[in-house]
Structure 1
Amino acid sequence: MRLLIVSKLVQEIHYSDSALKYYQEAINLAKLLKNKELQAQNLNRLGVYFRNMNLQEDALNLYEQALELSLESGEKSQIGHSYNNIGQMYYYKDYFDEALDYYKQAEQIFIEIDDKNGLGYNYTGMSLVLAELGRYQEALEKIDKAIDLRDKLGQTRQLMVSKFNKADILMDLGNFYEAENDILKLYDYGINNDKVRAINALEKLVELKIKTGDQKAAISYAEMAQEIHQQKPFSESMIRIYQLINQVYFNLGNIEKSQEYQNLLQAERNVIKSEKTKVHLAALTIQKQKEEIEFLSREKDLLDQNEKFKLFLLFGLIVSLMIITVAYLTVYRALNREKINLAKLYEQNKKIENQSKDLEKLNRMKDKIFSILAHDLKGPLNSLSGLVKLIQEDNLTQEEFVSYIPLLAENLGNNNILLENLLVWSRSQMNGLEANYTRLNIQSLVQKNIEYLHYSGYYKGQILTNDLDENVWVVADKNMVEIIIRNLLSNALKFTKKSDHINISAYDEHDKLTIRVDDNGVGIMQENLSRLFDSEFFSTMGTHQEKGTGIGLILTKELVQINNGKIWVESEYGTGSSFYFNLPKA
Structure 2
Amino acid sequence: MYNLTIKVKFLLLLFLIFAFRNESLVSQSFDVSQKAENILAQYQNAKSDRLKLDLISQLVRVIHYTDSAQKYYPEAIRLARLVGDAELEAQNLNRLGVYYRNMNLQEEALKLYEEALSISKNADIPVQIGHSLNNIGQIFFYQDQFQESLNYYLEAEKKFLEIGDKEGLAYNYNGMSLVLAEIRDFEQALETINKAIKIREELGNERQLTVSKFNRADILMSMGDYANAEPDIMNLYDYGMANDKIRAINALEKLVELKLKTYRFSQAVTYAKEAMVLHDEKPFSESIIEIYQMMYQYFFDRGNTIESKKYLSLLESERNRLNEIKTKNYLAGLTIKKQRDEIASLQREKELMEINDRFKFYLSIVLFLLAFAMFVAFSIYYRYYLKQKENLIQLKEKQKQIEAQANELDRLNIVKDKIFSILAHDLKAPMDSLWGMIKLIDEENLTQSEFEEYLPILSQNLGNNSILLENLLIWSRSQMKGMNVQISRINLFKLVEENIRFLLSSGFYKGQVVENYVAENIEVEADKNMIDIVFRNLLTNALKFTKEGDQIIVDIKESDNVYTVCVSDQGTGISEEGLKKLFGKDFHSTNGTHQEKGTGLGLILTKELVQKNKGEIWAESTLGMGSTFCFTLPKM
Match of 1:544?
A: 603
Contact 2:249 2:285 in 1 (8 A): no
Deviation at 1:189, TM superposition (A): 1.0
| Cα distance in structure 2, aligned partners of 1:25 and 1:284 | 20
Q: 1:79 to 1:277 in 2, by over 3 A?
A: closer
1:409 match: 413
Change (3 A) 1:102 1:458: closer
2:250 corresponds to? 200
For 1:166, give the aligned amino acid: R
Give the direction of change, closer, same or farther, for the CA distance of 1:21–1:251 in structure 2 (3 Å limit): same
| Residues 28 and 525 of structure 1: CA distance in aligned 2, closer, same or farther (over 3 Å) | farther
Give the Å deviation of 1:214: 2.2
**What does the per-residue CA deviation read over 1:82-121, in whole Å, with 9 as the maximum and x for residues that have no partner?**
0111111111111111111100110001011100000000
User: Would you say 1:166 and 2:225 are equivalent positions?
Assistant: no
What residue number does 1:117 align with?
167
Q: 2:307 aligns with which of 249, 257, 260?
A: 257
Alignment counterpart, residue 407 of structure 2, candidates 385, 389, 394: 385
Q: 2:61 corresponds to which residue?
A: 11
C-alpha distance in structure 1 between counterparts of 2:297 and 2:238, whole Å: 27
Distance 1:458 1:215, change over 3 A: closer
| 1:66 aligned partner, one-letter code | A
Query: Structure 1 284/214 Cα, relative in aligned 2: closer, same or farther at 3 Å?
Result: farther
Paired residues of 1:46 and 1:59 also in contact (CA < 8 A)? yes
- Cα distance in 1 for partners of 2:297, 2:112 equals 42
- Contact 1:186/1:197, CA 8 A, preserved across alignment: yes
Within a 5 Å distance, the mapping from 1:184-583 to structure 2 comes to: 184-283=234-333, 385=407, 409-412=413-416, 454-456=420-422, 463-465=429-431, 467=434, 490-491=469-470, 520=507, 538=530, 540-541=533-534, 543-546=602-605
SS in 1 for 2:430: strand
Letter in 2 for 1:464: P
SS in 1 for 2:306: helix
Q: Which has the larger radius of gyration?
A: 2
Is contact 1:60–1:86 with CA below 8 Å preserved after alignment?
A: yes
Secondary structure of the residue that 1:206 maps to in structure 2? Answer: helix
Which residue does 1:44 correspond to in 2?
94
Gaps in structure 2 of 5+ consecutive residues = 1-50, 341-402, 440-464, 476-504, 519-526, 535-600, 610-636
CA displacement 1:133-175 (0-9 Å, x = unmatched): 1211111111000000000100100001101111111111111
Select between 111-120 and 133-142 the one with higher mean Cα deviation: 133-142
1:87–1:100 contact (8 Å) kept in structure 2: yes
Deviation per CA, 1:493-545, whole angstroms, max 9, x where unpaired?
A: 5799xxxxxxxxxxxxxxxxxxxxx9846999999xxxxxxx98656246232
Contact kept in structure 2, 1:494 and 1:546, CA below 8 Å = no
- SS of equivalent residue, structure 1 residue 235: coil
* Greater Cα shift, 139-148 or 251-260: 251-260
Q: Is the 8 A contact 1:235 1:268 kept in 2?
A: no
Q: CA deviation at 1:268?
A: 2.3
Aligned residue type for 2:290: R
Cα–Cα, structure 1 residues 549 and 28, in superposed 2: closer, same or farther, change >3 Å?
farther
Q: TM-score, normalised by structure 2?
A: 0.51
Aligned residue among 73, 84, 90 for 1:34: 84
Are the equivalent residues in 2 in contact too, given 1:458–1:493 (CA < 8 A)?
A: no
SS at match of 1:544: helix
Q: Distance in 1 between matches of 2:114 and 2:324?
A: 35
Q: Distance in 1 between matches of 2:124 and 2:242?
A: 42
| Cα drift, residue 21 of structure 1 | 0.9
CA contact (8 A) 2:471 2:602 kept: no
Deviation at 1:235, TM superposition (A): 2.8
Letter in 2 for 1:145: K
Question: Alpha carbons of 1:465 and 1:76: their partners in 2 closer, same or farther (altered >3 Å)?
Answer: same
Q: Distance in 1 between matches of 2:606 and 2:159?
A: 55
Counterpart contact for 1:410–1:457, Cα < 8 Å: no
Instruction: Report the Cα offset of residue 276 of structure 1.
Output: 4.6
Query: Are the aligned partners of 1:13 and 1:19 in contact in 2 as well (CA < 8 Å)?
Result: yes
